[in-house]
Amino acid sequence: MRIQFLGGTGTVTGSKYLLTTQSSKILVDCGLFQGYKQLRLRNWARLPFDPAALDAVVLTHAHLDHSGYLPLLVKNGFKGKVFCSEATYDLCRILLPDSGHLQEEDAAAANRHGYSRHHPAMPLYTEDDAHVALRQFVTVGFGTHVAIAPGLGATFSRAGHILGAAIVALDDGSRRITFSGDLGRADDAVMLPPARLEATDYLVVESTYGNRVHAAADPLEALARTIRDTAARGGVVVIPAFAVGRAQGLMYAMHQMKASGAIPAVLPVFLDSPMAKDATAIYRKHRADHRLSVEECHAMCDAATIINSVEESKQLDARNTSKVIISASGMATGGRVLHHLKAFADDPRNTILFAGFQAGGTRGAALIDGAGEIRIHGQTVRVRAQVAHVDNLSAHADSREILEWMSALAIPPRRTFVTHGEPAASEALRARIKHELGWDCLVPEHLQEVAL
């Protein structure tokens, strides 16, 4: 058995792990690279293997940095099955076609306005490509062992990060390798905690927050204070949020804050993402995946006015009244939130509020680092709005929580691979694992291959 790291190394995006045995070849996760241009260019590069030679793909969860390359993989010849949890499939049915649609829109806009160096600009894949890829999905229940390729089986356990997120253990009868995927938090307000880590020979663990510990303070207090202060100035709060996971957590937070009086009950809250609306409805279907009761699900879904049409979205930018706008994407890399940033970033009364990790090279990271201007749709946008970051709202486990999850093992893995983190975060987690647990640990490089 061999593993090759094709993504999620030195970055939190592009997760892809090629696992090869004597009789099988599978890919664990199939994500898009995001952030720095040199990373995004990898999406266009030829893979170091033939997609047609793959037996299967296994997805840990639906976020595009783990699933978003699938339509291109299928377009380039992959004919096998894509194994994932039921909720992951339901979310991919929303995310992947939307990703293709946005890429088509971006290419069309670049061609209309001439801000691409490519003539003509082309999408990486289309909405139709995504629908074709979805035909190859097969769902697997949590706790069920399933044969995914000749001589290779998989078991899915809850990871707690978003709906359907899984810890995946693969075995060939003599060795087991476990992939953490993105680990959630034990005390998340919406999601159930990650399942206990079971005995494994090898472990691939994420390190998004590998060099940080989430603040102990109640994140709703910081969120409410920022919203109140902005409203008192007559300003608008724009919250870039992932349509799956973060948007729903924020809507539930809005319900809690209004119910407690932490923010004015009359303050308008808008969810400007049809995709997030569809994802929110899936919470009602998969109630076994989260903590919310039927009543709390309804309250979450009713916490914001849903903006459906482009015209309604434009009207939000034309109204100069205090409000909260939650809109995709979470790192301000695309989608409708860019139009809201163009409309509101230049006014010091307003606030741009981030509620999750911002990968290097994204607009979100630039804004948190104090950028005075950003580029959107080929234009320079001045930033005079306040920029806030409520970091402990994250759906990712921090370094302490990751170590607590790992320390459940009585016998350490033969080797642990630390991935899915910026270099400083991955190295910090590696050092802690080595020092505190005494485990053999490696931070792999991009394209590195290791024999198991």
pLDDT given at position 283: 87
Domain with CATH 3.60.15.10 in the chain: 2-212+395-451
pLDDT given at position 439: 97
pLDDT given at position 347: 96
pLDDT given at position 393: 81
Residues of the chain predicted below pLDDT 70: 115-117
Say whether domain 2-212+395-451 belongs to CATH 3.60.15.10. yes
Domain with CATH 3.40.50.10890 in the chain: 219-393
Q: Report the 3 state secondary structure along the chain.
A: CEEEECCCCCCCCCCEEEEECCCCEEEEEECCCCCCHHHHHHHHCCCCCCHHHCCEEECCCCCHHHHCCHHHHHHCCCCCEEEECHHHHHHHHHHHHHHHHHHHHHHHHHHHHCCCCCCCCCCCCCHHHHHHHHCCEEECCCCCEEEEECCEEEEEEECCCCCCCEEEEEECCCCEEEECCCCCCCCCCCECCCCCCCCCCEEEEECCECCCCCCCCCHHHHHHHHHHHHHHCCCEEEEECCCCCHHHHHHHHHHHHHHHCCCCCCCCEEEECHHHHHHHHHHHHCHHHECCCHHHHHHHHCCCEECCCHHHHHHHHHCCCCEEEEECCCCCCCCCHHHHHHHHCCCCCCEEEECCCCCCCCHHHHHHCCCCEEEECCEEEECCCEEEECHHHCCCCEHHHHHHHHCCCCCCCCEEEEECCCHHHHHHHHHHHHHHHCCCEECCCCCCEEEC
pLDDT given at position 116: 65
What's the pTM? 0.91
> What class is the 219-393 domain?
alpha beta
